[in-house]
Amino acid sequence: MAGPQIVMYEEEFNQIQEVCEKLVKDANAIVVFIIDKNGQLIATAGEYENLDTTSLASLTAGNIAATGGMAKVLKENEFATQFHEGEHQNIHIQIVGQRVILVVIFDERSSLGLVRLRVRKASQSLTEIFERLVEKMQDPNMAAPLEEITDDDIDNLFND
């Protein structure tokens, strides 16, 4: 038993990507990305070429996990929103539908108010998309996607 897995399909991926790209524009953001709570990157949009998004994703997930742990100690529900203000850049972190994390990085060309507003709208769209995705994942016809992989395939991966 290796916990339930997340599966991402082309259709939903494109929809999620679209939401991210729209959010970059609407919020005047530098970068928008979505990760799952384990720190796996799901989608990225904006000027991310020079950004170590893998590191950011795992650190954000760690941060959310730690904050979630604090909430538990305080017998709170999770803290759904976080905001970190830097000298030049700011990070807005939002938990969406209790399952994924939406991160927006922005600078003085935008404002916290605008980001908040646009994040709220994007969250609604994302929640709907992820609900559909979860339904799809539970469809038995869609499940066990890696069945065709053989033991030899796995062995070959390690024979170098």
Partner 1 sequence: MSFINYSSREINCKIVYYGPGLCGKTTNLQYVYNRTNPDAKGKMISLATETERTLFFDFLPLSLGEIRGFKTRFHLYTVPGQVFYDASRKLILKGVDGVVFVADSQISRMEANIESLENLRDNLQEQGYDLDKLPYVVQYNKRDLPTVADLTEMREVLNTTHVPDFEAVATNGTGVFDTLKAVAKLVLTELKKGS
Q: Cβ contacts of residue 155 below 8 Å, gap of 6+?
A: none
Shortest CB 1 distance to partner 1, Å: 4
- Closer of 72 and 109 to partner 1 (Cβ): 72
Spatial CA neighbour of 53 closest among 39, 67, 37, 68: 39
Three-state secondary-structure class, residue 32: strand
Give the C-alpha separation, 157 to 160, whole Å: 7
Q: Which is nearer to partner 1, 108 or 160 (CB)?
A: 160
CB of 18: closest distance to partner 1 in angstroms? 13
Nearer to partner 1, 28 or 79 (CB): 79
> Among residues 117 and 149, whose Cβ is nearest to partner 1?
149
Q: Report whether 129 contacts 19 (CB < 8 A).
A: yes
CA 85 to chain centre: 20
Sites of contact with partner 1 (CB under 8 A): 1-10, 13-14, 36-40, 42, 52, 54-55, 58-59, 62, 65-66, 68-69, 143-149, 151, 153-158, 160
Nearest approach in angstroms of CB 93 to partner 1 is: 16
How far apart CA 98 and CA 86 sit, in angstroms, is 26
Shortest Cβ 53–partner 1 spacing (Å): 9
